[in-house]
Structure 1
Amino acid sequence: MPRLYGSVRARTTVGATAVVAAALAAAGLIVVSLLRANLAGQADLRAEMTAREIAAELAAGTPYDRLDLDDAEERPVQIADSSGRVRAVSEDLQAVSGLGDPATALGSRAAGVLSGEDDDDLDEEDPRPGRVSDGAWHATGRATVDGRTTDYRFAAVEATTPAGETVTVHAGATLATSRDAVAAVGRAMLLGLPALLGVVAGVTWLVTRRALRPVAAIRGELAEITSSGDLTRRVPVPRSRDEVAELAGTTNQTLAALERSVTRQRGFVADAAHELRTPIASLRTQLEVAAAHPRLLDVAELTDDVVRLQHLAADLLLLARLDAGERPVSPEPVDMAELVRDELRRRPAGARDLAIEADVAEAPSVPGSRVRLARVLSNLLDNAERHAAAGIRVRLGAQDGMAVLRVADDGAGVPPDDRERIFERFVRLDESRSRDDGGAGLGLAITHDVVRAHGGQITVGDAPEGGALFEVRLPSAHGR
């Protein structure tokens, strides 16, 4: 069972739940704030409507004792003149506080009744007789009605009676209903938030488990492949076209490449053992004969076998290094024209006395190892000498910013079906040749791997002379 706290599923669930919780908390605060502001605005509207209704009656000349000032608990009303003297109040309204001077209850504009709130909405002068002011003051205060004190939102409106007396009408709207509504919404959110987060966590857990199920299958299959060592097996690829399917496809490609590498390595080891067995057996036989009959020892033949064994061991070691991805530690520009001239100059005359035609033009320098690039040319010349009838042609030039080396012979050529296979290791197309004449079949394989290690490519085709034409293309030092 996977560790819950360290699994991708657990981290994804916790992360998604935390994000949703933060989003819901922010949304809840915004909703509550908007609801509180909206309800406060409605309370202001109710209080102002009540104040304007009473002010309109006063402006029309209705006496104080005939005003409808009932229902003080829902809408407490108090009327004060310009001197702050209370002229009328709602029934059962006992006290009002928080709106100015307690001695004058709500006070007046001159006394700073409502802390100057919305003072720009009122006219500076008193309204004319029989008129109500256009503006209104709003403030939050407390009122005591029938022994119960609670918060109200008050509105103050001025009116002038037909007799010319200016009074201020203070009317309130209770905030208890608004606060109860806000509290109810808050409780509902607090109760619903854990349930909603639980649903989000559960859905995220299930969806993530379903999404990661192919990953678990891939991991299990890889574990079985590792334990069994069977590289022919492949991990399951899900039908979905997502990143997991791409991961499975890439994993199968890696397994296929690993299988080819292991198969190649095993074949290489088997072929190397087979190739080494012959010179070692020959050396042992000659040494045993020399031990029994010293006069029969052929030193020249023994030396040839030792040299051949030495060359074979060096070739195997070079191939092993190339397989390991070894590159020159500090590649330096190699003058290909100079390299070809030096190699042709040092090359000993062959036993077959073949004519070598050289056409060496200026070519761009190639970054890499001079020793290994010289080995490429040497192997191609050895192969050409082995198959040529009368002559060999070597050409060096430049094409598309690359150094191009061509080695052609006038031999039998390479059949099209074998032009890829000849670069495989221990491959000899002419089985009638002896191992001494035909080599171990590693020359072209080494040439191919060295060229690839230098970022180039090698191909084989038909030469104008009728034999094989090997073409090597290497990137220049300036083109990298």
Structure 2
Amino acid sequence: MSRPFASVRARATLGATLVVAVALVAAGAAVLFSLYANLTGQAGADAERNARTVAADLAGGVPYRDLQLDDQDEPVQVLSADGTLVAATDGLERISGTATGQVRPSPQPSPTPTPTAGGEDDDDDTEADTEADDVGDDDGGSGSSLGPGEIGDAAPLSNGSATIDGRSGDYRFARVEVDVPGQGTFTVFAGAPLATEQSAVDTALKVMLVGFPLLLGIVGGVTWLVTRRALRPVEDIRQEMAEITASEDLTRRVPEPDTHDEIARLARTTNETLAALETSVDRQRRFVADASHELRSPIASLRTQLEVGAAHPELLDVPGAVADTVRLQHLAADLLLLARLDAGERPLDARVDLAALAREAGADRPGVRVMAEEPVEPVEVAGSRSQLERVLGNLLDNGRRHARSEVTVSVRTAGGKAVVEVADDGDGVPEADRERIFERFVRLDDARSRDDGGAGLGLAIARDVAVRHGGTLTVATAPAGGALFTLRLPLA
């Protein structure tokens, strides 16, 4: 396939691949974020559950020295009211993300009751207590008021890491406060591993890194093939048009796909354009041939008369030569006007009184009677005076050639239009020929002499001028039985 269509395929493939890539990246990011949030939330819930289990033992009266933390697989820390580590998971070697980095409980004296419910003394501004207050306490930290044996509702979460029996990992820690009767408010930190979350996210990321490029490759390949198949009829149309251009054979047509899409409509429109072009070229060729034929007769006659006059001056038919010259002049003028009309020349935007124009045209032609000699108001249209004068003259000349006695002309207005009617009392125009007479170089009576019948351009010029002025020209049967030509033009 040629480069322009390959370029279209490449652009379509690239565009589709980019759109899918952006969609996949956005969807993948959303999936990873959702997976991370769900698994992190699950780890936080497990950490809170572990912390509340230990807090429940403390609230139930179990001494912190007797807490069963040796069997815990997750890191647990228990801090006293003054922030001292009093209990921890057995085998805890390192921890971060909690209020203290201590891993071994400090020796504690026997518990003694404290004078306040919150269990805080005047030395609660120690460094350990300051660290405990800084770890995500939503309800005021150790200063919160809990009744005897109550467990705090809040469980702030944080991320950290820990090493237990030589195994290190990341954890999600929950902080729960509990009031131990007679000992004050203790703080329990318990963790839940984030290994499952990290493993799941890593696995999903690896699947995306492998699957996304593969999916993009499939999308690109399918788009390339589909675009190639969709553009194949376009290439067929292009090749046929190139062959038509090279051969100049306007009878050929491009193939039309059996679909109802834009390409099929393009093919149909192209064939319609070719048909219109073929008609126009054929019409132009016939016009040139007919014009040559029409010009040959007066030129040959004029040449013959001049040659005879040159050899025998006494035999020179001067009136005949003048008549042939005038006929040749009129024919040349008609051909020039038709060429200007075919070139799309727009008429002048002047105001023309059709009633006055009809009176002037009728006055120059014997046998023409103009109805309504004095119209109440002028019937004005916008256009070229010379071209409209040619229309009226052609219609009157045509009527005079076919009328038995007279030609009548009437001018009036009807429905926002100027209406000019030219009627004769001749034989009329057969209904089957009422459109054919407006074709160029058409004569219904082929036996008539060319001098009497003209070149067959008058009515063609009249209709073309009427159409150029936004009007119509039709023929029907006159009341007297002859032809009735009706010219309708928009009023100015």
Give the alignment of 1:372-411 within 5 angstroms: 372-411=387-426
SS of 1:36's equivalent in the other structure is: helix
Matched-pair contact (CA < 8 Å) for 1:98–1:142: yes
Q: Could you tell me how far apart the structure 2 residues matched to 1:25 and 1:181 are?
A: 18
1:129 aligns with 2:148: yes
Q: Show the counterpart of 1:359.
A: 372
- 1:111-130: per-residue Cα shift (whole Å, max 9, x none)? 25374636059896342222
Q: Could you tell me how far apart the structure 2 residues matched to 1:109 and 1:410 are?
A: 128
Deviation at 1:365, TM superposition (A): 3.3
Matched-pair contact (CA < 8 Å) for 2:417–2:489: yes
Q: Show the counterpart of 1:51.
A: 51
Q: Could you tell me how far apart the structure 2 residues matched to 1:115 and 1:140 are?
A: 14
- 1:401-439: per-residue Cα shift (whole Å, max 9, x none)? 111111111111000011010001111112232111110
Matched-pair contact (CA < 8 Å) for 2:81–2:142: no
* 1:301 maps to which of 285, 299, 320: 320
Alignment gaps of 5+ in structure 1: none
1:459 aligns with 2:458: no
Q: Could you tell me how far apart the structure 2 residues matched to 1:416 and 1:127 are?
A: 112
1:434 aligns with 2:449: yes
Give the alignment of 1:170-209 within 5 angstroms: 170-209=189-228
Q: Could you tell me how far apart the structure 1 residues matched to 2:448 and 2:230 are?
A: 61
1:251 aligns with 2:270: yes
Q: Name the stretch that deviates more: 80-89 or 155-164.
A: 155-164
Q: Could you tell me how far apart the structure 2 residues matched to 1:377 and 1:105 are?
A: 122
Matched-pair contact (CA < 8 Å) for 2:5–2:231: no
1:33 aligns with 2:51: no
Q: Show the counterpart of 2:92.
A: 93
Deviation at 1:9, TM superposition (A): 1.6
Matched-pair contact (CA < 8 Å) for 1:130–1:159: yes
1:262 aligns with 2:281: yes
* 2:435 maps to which of 413, 420, 431: 420
Matched-pair contact (CA < 8 Å) for 1:59–1:160: yes
* 2:341 maps to which of 304, 322, 327: 322
Q: Could you tell me how far apart the structure 1 residues matched to 2:96 and 2:24 are?
A: 38
* 1:236 maps to which of 235, 240, 255: 255
Deviation at 1:201, TM superposition (A): 0.8
Cα gap change, 1:368/1:321 in structure 2, threshold over 3 Å: closer, same or farther? same
Q: Show the counterpart of 1:16.
A: 16
- 1:42-89: per-residue Cα shift (whole Å, max 9, x none)? 1111110110111111111123243232466x5210000110100100
Give the alignment of 1:60-139 within 5 angstroms: 60-70=60-70, 74-100=73-99, 102=101, 111=130, 113=132, 115=134, 117=136, 119-120=138-139, 125-139=144-158
Q: Could you tell me how far apart the structure 2 residues matched to 1:267 and 1:326 are?
A: 21
Superposition TM-score, scaled by structure 2 size: 0.89
How many residue pairs are counted as aligned between the two chains?
470
Alignment gaps of 5+ in structure 2: 106-125
Matched-pair contact (CA < 8 Å) for 2:152–2:177: yes
Matched-pair contact (CA < 8 Å) for 2:362–2:370: no
User: Counterpart amino acid of 2:161?
Assistant: R
Q: Give the superposed CA RMSD.
A: 2.4
1:343 aligns with 2:361: yes
Q: Show the counterpart of 1:369.
A: 384
User: Counterpart amino acid of 1:332?
Assistant: A
Cα gap change, 1:443/1:109 in structure 2, threshold over 3 Å: closer, same or farther? farther
Deviation at 1:364, TM superposition (A): 5.3
User: Counterpart amino acid of 2:77?
Assistant: Q
Q: Could you tell me how far apart the structure 1 residues matched to 2:67 and 2:142 are?
A: 25
User: What percent identity do the matched residue pairs reach?
Assistant: 57
1:224 aligns with 2:223: no
Q: Could you tell me how far apart the structure 2 residues matched to 1:359 and 1:248 are?
A: 55
Q: Show the counterpart of 1:334.
A: 352
SS of 2:369's equivalent in the other structure is: strand
Deviation at 1:379, TM superposition (A): 0.6
Deviation at 1:197, TM superposition (A): 0.5
Deviation at 1:4, TM superposition (A): 6.9
Matched-pair contact (CA < 8 Å) for 2:83–2:129: no
Matched-pair contact (CA < 8 Å) for 1:355–1:390: no
Q: Could you tell me how far apart the structure 2 residues matched to 1:440 and 1:206 are?
A: 61
Q: Could you tell me how far apart the structure 1 residues matched to 2:312 and 2:76 are?
A: 141
Matched-pair contact (CA < 8 Å) for 2:158–2:174: yes
Q: Could you tell me how far apart the structure 2 residues matched to 1:368 and 1:121 are?
A: 95
Q: Name the stretch that deviates more: 127-136 or 261-270.
A: 127-136
Matched-pair contact (CA < 8 Å) for 1:393–1:409: yes
Deviation at 1:470, TM superposition (A): 0.5
Q: Could you tell me how far apart the structure 2 residues matched to 1:133 and 1:57 are?
A: 14
- 1:357-388: per-residue Cα shift (whole Å, max 9, x none)? 32364465322212111111111011011111
Q: Could you tell me how far apart the structure 2 residues matched to 1:172 and 1:5 are?
A: 63
SS of 1:111's equivalent in the other structure is: helix
Matched-pair contact (CA < 8 Å) for 1:364–1:402: no
Deviation at 1:294, TM superposition (A): 1.8
Q: Name the stretch that deviates more: 115-124 or 298-307.
A: 115-124
- 1:310-369: per-residue Cα shift (whole Å, max 9, x none)? 1111111111121222213x5233333333333334x2x44xxx1413236446532221
Q: Could you tell me how far apart the structure 1 residues matched to 2:69 and 2:435 are?
A: 109
Q: Could you tell me how far apart the structure 2 residues matched to 1:255 and 1:437 are?
A: 39
- 1:254-287: per-residue Cα shift (whole Å, max 9, x none)? 1111111111111111111111110111111111
Matched-pair contact (CA < 8 Å) for 1:456–1:472: yes
Q: Could you tell me how far apart the structure 2 residues matched to 1:172 and 1:314 are?
A: 107
Q: Could you tell me how far apart the structure 2 residues matched to 1:428 and 1:105 are?
A: 124
Cα gap change, 1:71/1:454 in structure 2, threshold over 3 Å: closer, same or farther? farther
Cα gap change, 1:282/1:113 in structure 2, threshold over 3 Å: closer, same or farther? farther
SS of 1:47's equivalent in the other structure is: helix
Cα gap change, 1:371/1:110 in structure 2, threshold over 3 Å: closer, same or farther? farther
Q: Could you tell me how far apart the structure 2 residues matched to 1:101 and 1:465 are?
A: 123
Deviation at 1:103, TM superposition (A): 7.0
Superposition TM-score, scaled by structure 1 size: 0.92
- 1:149-173: per-residue Cα shift (whole Å, max 9, x none)? 4432110001122444321000111
SS of 1:39's equivalent in the other structure is: helix
